[in-house]
Amino acid sequence: MSNTNDIVVGLDIGTTKICAIVGRKNEYGKIDILGMGKAESEGVSRGVVINIQQTVNAIKEAVDIASKKSNVDIKLVNVGIAGQHIKSQQHSGVIVRSFSEDEITTLDLDRLRDDMQKLVMQPGEEIIHVIAQEYTVDSETGIKHPIGMAGVRLQGNFHVITGQVTAAKNIYRCVNKAGLEVSDLILEPIASSDSVLTDEEKEAGVALVDIGGGTTDIAIFHDGIIRHTAVIPLGGNIITDDIKEGCAVMKKQAELLKVKFGCALADETKDNEIISIPGLKGRDAKEISVKNLSHIIQARMEEIFEHVYYEIKASNYEKKLIGGIVVTGGGAQLKHISQLIEFVTSLNARVGYPNEHLSGKGMTEEVKSPMYATGIGLVMRGFTELESKASKNDNKETIQQPKQKTGSWFTDFMKKGKSWMEDETAADDFSN
């Protein structure tokens, strides 16, 4: 089995599929896909686990396939979370520093972030992510990177994402029962944005729309910062249900019709194009018009994007999205979806493929579809977290020693030595 120190595994627990992707970063910063495993997801509905055992079985199946293909013994995974229970809100926090001439350090930013973790939530809710937006040092506002600056009053604005405790616990329970450990729980639209958006788009202003099987996830960026997140409880599965009812076919046939012949704009289809579906035992084949099929799909896609447009307007960033909308996820594979989005929202649109950060080696061809955007994003998030931890460890080792002073405080500090510095509480006191 391969050395797993430089390998990250993303586990996308979706409504239609559970997917495990094993990745390793090469010397150029690109990701080699070492292995990918996929299993049908029957225990998840609209992003939320509803059957523990079915979900555990699917996780095991997907991870086993990925493990065999990559020759990696998988134990630690980055897991995505979604669902209608996800909410986002803005909060700010302030700390007052004792020594204005001392540089602001990562310890100060960590203290601000930790204060956000203490916010009082609604019963049954917990904080999933605390994302820094911008800082104010004394009277200077709009600072993105305050480390190294001097100041007494440090204020931070944060984007706080919350979710139901039970939903998160059920995900942990499923992963643990499958014999794995959760390295990090990551909001799925944030993961998807890492894999399909460019830094330029995030700077200019862009809305990421990830159409999954059970939910449609939204993440809005501006000035390189995430500004708004939302989850709409409509996805690809509801389109399949509409086709099943509208065309009077079996669910599996409806899914195949959507995937093979689905089009988001009925006007782009031919009037006389007919699909023949085998009938049930002893019955004649059923003929379905591609035009009618497209009308069914278009009606539901318009509804989904009206919800998306509502969220964009609610964020107050509608006029600032120079990058328009980037659509990804399984639902983004419908023909002419970009044109439909532009028709409904009047914003320019493109389909986001998660292949920009891939090296081209390994199983790249298998995972460059929009349906794997979340899985690849979870792998990328894992590497970002590893690099962040490594950077913090380097910073701890290079903390500048204070100028020599006389008196009992400094003598006591020197006697306690390195172990004193490693104590978190003491380190906070020192930074004050």
Tell me the per-residue pLDDT of 108-129, one tens digit each, with 9 for 90 and over. 999 999 999 999 888 999 999 9
Averaged confidence pLDDT in the chain: 87
Tell me the per-residue pLDDT of 43-73, one tens digit each, with 9 for 90 and over. 999 889 999 999 999 999 999 999 999 999 9
The percent of residues above 90 in pLDDT, for the chain, comes to 71
pLDDT value, residue 378? 96
pLDDT value at 337 more than 60: yes
Query: 398 falls in which pLDDT band (50, 70, 90)?
Result: very low
CA distance 197 to 217: 14
Length of the chain: 432
Among 89-103, 221-235, 385-399, top mean pLDDT goes to 221-235
Q: What is the pTM of this model?
A: 0.84
Mean pLDDT of 252-258: 93
Query: 198 falls in which pLDDT band (50, 70, 90)?
Result: very high
Burial of 42 (0-12, 13-18, 19+ CB in 10 A): middle
Tell me the per-residue pLDDT of 277-310, one tens digit each, with 9 for 90 and over. 887 777 888 899 999 999 999 999 999 999 999 9
Q: Looking at 189-203, 206-220, 350-364, which range is the least confident one?
A: 350-364
pLDDT value at 425 more than 90: no
CA distance 93 to 428: 17
CA distance 192 to 208: 8
pLDDT value, residue 348? 95
pLDDT value, residue 431? 42
pLDDT value at 421 more than 60: no
pLDDT value, residue 406? 38
Please give the angle made by the CA atoms of 383, 388 and 391, to the nearest 5 degrees: 125
Residues of the chain with CATH 3.30.420.40: 199-355
Q: Looking at 196-200, 216-220, 274-278, which range is the least confident one?
A: 274-278
Tell me the per-residue pLDDT of 368-396, one tens digit each, with 9 for 90 and over. 899 999 999 999 999 988 887 777 666 55
CA distance 240 to 172: 29
Mean pLDDT of 94-108: 87
Q: What's the CATH number for 199-355?
A: 3.30.420.40
pLDDT value at 2 more than 70: no
Burial of 267 (0-12, 13-18, 19+ CB in 10 A): exposed
Query: 102 falls in which pLDDT band (50, 70, 90)?
Result: confident
Number of C-beta neighbours around residue 343 at 10 A: 15
Alpha carbon of residue 59 to chain centroid: 19
pLDDT value, residue 392? 66
The percent of residues above 70 in pLDDT, for the chain, comes to 89
Mean pLDDT of 90-107: 88
